[in-house]
Every structure is written in C-alpha cells, then in structure tokens.
C-alpha cells in the first residue's frame, strides 16, 4: 500500500526546519532575482530527498515562478509569474499572510554562536 501524498505544509516544514535547506533555497532565490537564472541542481542536491525535490520544483513551476531551462535541466530560469518581491517563506510553500518571521540566515546564526 502506497503512503498518502504529503501536503504542502509537510514539504514546507522539511525545508524551513533545516537551515542548510533554507539557505540553499535562499541562494537559489537570490540568483533568480539577480540573474534571472539559478542552479537547480545545487538546490536539489542540498535537499538530498527525491520527493522533496519533486514537490518543491512542481510548486515553483505550477506558480510560474520557475521554468526549467530548455538547454539543460540543471538550471532554472525565472518564470513569467516570478516577482522579485516573493518572500523566502512563500517560495518554500508557506501560505501568504502568515506572520512567521523569515528564518535566520546561516551567517546570522553563525555570528550568534561565535559571540
């Protein structure tokens, strides 16, 4: 018997609860904003979870935020609905309107540990 499909909250938590995954999505989103393209392979390799990769990529593609590059599936291009204002949490699947703060960036966390 096949397990039930996970919902958006599950995959969202699986990204946002792991700082290395959150940082990978943050880098990916930063490159999309700055260059209009990003290394899809790098973010997926950081996820290191096939179902998480499929769910996140499907979410981004369905919203028109990302288009897989026609020349190589290892890169993503900013899609027609991509906006530079999309938040990290929204990009990770968290519903709009939730008042949760942005997760700390790894460099902020490291700075607090070193203090």
Q: What is the mean pLDDT of each run of 10 residues along the chain (115 residues)?
A: 48 92 96 96 93 93 94 92 94 75 51 47
- pLDDT, position 10: 85
Show the tokens assigned to 22: 């959150």
- pLDDT, position 95: 85
Look at residue 20 and give its three-state secondary structure: helix
- pLDDT, position 104: 53
DSSP 8-state secondary structure symbol assigned to residue 49: -
Cα distance between residue 4 and residue 56, in whole Å: 17
Cα distance between residue 115 and residue 98, in whole Å: 31
- pLDDT, position 15: 93
Report all structural domains of the chain as residue ranges with CATH numbers, in order of start: 8-81+103-114 (1.10.10)
User: Could you tell me which of 69, 83, 68, 72 has the C-alpha nearest to residue 33?
Assistant: 83
Helices 40-47 & 19-35, crossing angle to 10 degrees? 170
């Amino acid at each position: 018997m096949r397990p039930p499909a996970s919902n958006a909250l599950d995959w969202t938590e699986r990204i946002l609860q792991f700082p290395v995954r959150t940082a990978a999505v943050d880098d990916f989103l930063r490159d999309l904003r700055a260059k209009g393209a990003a290394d899809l392979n790098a973010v997926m390799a950081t996820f290191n979870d096939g179902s998480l990769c499929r769910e996140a990529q499907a979410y981004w593609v369905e919203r028109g935020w990302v288009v897989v590059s026609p020349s190589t599936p290892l890169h993503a291009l900013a899609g027609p609905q991509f906006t530079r204002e999309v938040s990290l949490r929204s990009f990770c699947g968290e519903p709009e309107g939730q008042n949760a703060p942005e997760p700390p960036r790894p460099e902020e966390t490291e700075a607090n540990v070193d203090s």
